[in-house]
Amino acid sequence: MSTATIEQELANARAALQRQQGDEADRIYRRVLETAPDTSEALNFLGTRAIRFGRGDEAIALLERARRADANDPNVAFNLGLAHLMAEHVAPARDAFRAALDLVPEFFLARLHYARTLELSGDQDHAVTQYYAAIQRAQQQGRWLNDATTPPLLRDMVKYGMGYAQAHRKRLFEGVLDGVAAKSGRDALKRAYKCLAMFLGEQPTVYADPRQIPKFLYYPDLPATPYFARELFPWYAMLEDNFDVVRAEMAAVLESGEGIEPFLKFHSPEEVSGYLGGSPKAGWDAFFFYRHGERYDANCSRCPRTAEILDALPTLQHIREHAPEVCFSALPPGSHILPHRGVVNTRLVTHFPLKVPQGDLALRVGGEDHVWQEGRCVTFDDTYEHEAWNRTDQLRVVMLLDVWNPYLSAPEREAVTTLVETIGDFNRAAEGASTQNH
């Protein structure tokens, strides 16, 4: 059989499949293999057909030949995994699914089965991140959201994976709170356990103020208000009494320009338009002392008095890889930070205004406007929709700080810290699982 004839036979087999004539396709593919025994397409079809009819040994033999013929076909690797799984060969199935994922990391169906083989192997920790990653990736593509978006033959397995991931996450996250409760008593963490139940979807999230919608985590039963009374923050004095010192170090930074960077990193003009408005030269710049919880030592050394004050603040929020965010926040003339929301209401944002020109500029939180006054702190809950603008012809600069919500007790702060860090670790592991494999 010539190459041209083989190609025609393969086309005939595909046409038969389109007509749902599986037996005819089977005969054609077998004819092809008589002349060209390493034809991966024919081996793969016949292998999957053997799986369908429960002929496990035949399926494995055919699909292993297909893998040798074409090691770069993720579907062949996936089907070989199915054949081994049907035969209860857990380790070879795991290796085959992993090979498919090495070729196509976003192959969420292969990841779902890979998770199953990890579970069967007794590797619970990696199984749960793989189940979670498979479901997250599928749902990002509009699949596995409900029965209508899940093929009937997969529904039980998808639901099992969801339940497995949910149960493990609950044990993991509750264990974190239990560790704090062992020291402080469970009653001291009632709100924390309720927060977790809402996060896991075990009970509905009911906001104290419908204007307040955190993007990540809602901590219930805290007083809800866009702006917080000054009396709640006696440490304001540590900043306000040193206004001249901090302002002078800020001015030196602005004059040199060293260490100043965009507050937000954008990859396209479309992203910019979602966060910044105003003039064509609109911007939002920052000189960071902390970013995502990481201390910028070089910047701190350039503003030693300011850094010393920050180190002494009692309520600066410290959560590994999350908080604090502390910076000189510079809003150039004609810039508008568009309405957006923060991630969690256990954290508040304090502005310490250092350079406030006269004119049309303000902060708006939950629909309520505030005009900065130099040297006078203001603290707000950024889980309310908020925005800021500077329509003057001069630069506006505030020091921006992440601080604890003053209505949290010390045990609750510890619980939130460990919970957020643990959730972050889990999510990063799942994200890593969706791009690389165990």
Q: What is the pLDDT of residue 199?
A: 96
SS3 211: coil
Distance CA 431, CA 165 (A): 14
pLDDT at 147 exceeding the cut of 80? yes
Q: What is the pLDDT of residue 266?
A: 65
Q: What is the pLDDT of residue 430?
A: 86
For 353-396, the DSSP string reads EEE--SSSEEEEETTEEE--BTTB-EEE-TTB-EEEEE-SSS-E
pLDDT at 269 exceeding the cut of 90? no
pLDDT at 267 exceeding the cut of 80? no
Q: Tell me the pairing of strands 285-291 and 276-278.
A: unpaired
Contacts of 366 (CB under 8 A, 6+ apart): 209, 211, 212, 226, 381, 384, 385, 386
* CATH architecture under which domain 3-166 falls: Alpha Horseshoe (1.25)
Q: What is the pLDDT of residue 290?
A: 97
Q: What is the pLDDT of residue 268?
A: 61
Q: What is the pLDDT of residue 278?
A: 83
Q: What is the pLDDT of residues 274-298, one digit of tens each?
A: 788 888 778 999 999 999 999 999 9
- The overall average pLDDT reported for the chain is 94
Q: What is the mean pLDDT of residues 148-170?
A: 95
Q: Closest Cα partner for 405 from 339, 312, 343?
A: 343
pLDDT at 86 exceeding the cut of 80? yes
Q: What percent of the chain has pLDDT over 90?
A: 87
Sign of the alpha-carbon dihedral angle for 273, 277, 282, 283: negative
| Ramachandran area for residue 4 (φ above 0: left; ψ -120 to 50: alpha; else beta) | alpha
| Residue type at 49 in one-letter notation | R
pLDDT at 24 exceeding the cut of 70? yes
Supply the CATH classification number for the domain 230-407: 2.60.120.330
In this structure, what are the phi and psi dihedrals at residue 269, rounded to the nearest 5 degrees?
A: -60, -30
Q: What is the pLDDT of residues 229-252, one digit of tens each?
A: 999 999 999 999 999 999 999 999
Place 5 in a pLDDT band, splitting at 50, 70 and 90: confident
Q: Which residues of 308-331 are buried (b: 16+ CB within 10 A; e: fewer)?
A: ebbeebebbbebeebbbbbbbbbb
Angle at 377 between CA 371 and CA 380, to 5 degrees: 75
pLDDT at 373 exceeding the cut of 60? yes
In this structure, what are the phi and psi dihedrals at residue 322, rounded to the nearest 5 degrees?
A: -130, -45
Q: Angle formed by the axes of helices 40-52 and 3-18, to 10°? A: 30
Q: What is the pLDDT of residues 376-433, one digit of tens each?
A: 999 999 999 999 999 999 999 999 999 999 999 999 999 999 999 999 999 988 887 6
Q: Closest Cα partner for 45 from 70, 105, 85, 334?
A: 70
Domain ranges within the chain, ordered by starting residue: 3-166, 230-407
Q: Closest Cα partner for 65 from 33, 91, 35?
A: 33
Q: What is the pLDDT of residues 189-217, one digit of tens each?
A: 999 999 999 999 999 999 999 999 999 99
How buried is 248 (Cβ within 10 angstroms: 0-12 exposed, 13-18 middle, 19+ buried)? middle
Q: What is the pLDDT of residue 320?
A: 93
Q: What is the mean pLDDT of residues 83-111?
A: 96
pLDDT at 61 exceeding the cut of 90? yes
pLDDT at 437 exceeding the cut of 70? no
Q: What is the pLDDT of residue 429?
A: 87
pLDDT at 66 exceeding the cut of 80? yes
Q: What is the pLDDT of residues 318-352, one digit of tens each?
A: 999 999 999 999 999 999 999 999 999 999 999 99
How buried is 295 (Cβ within 10 angstroms: 0-12 exposed, 13-18 middle, 19+ buried)? middle
Distance CA 205, CA 222 (A): 13
pLDDT at 438 exceeding the cut of 80? no
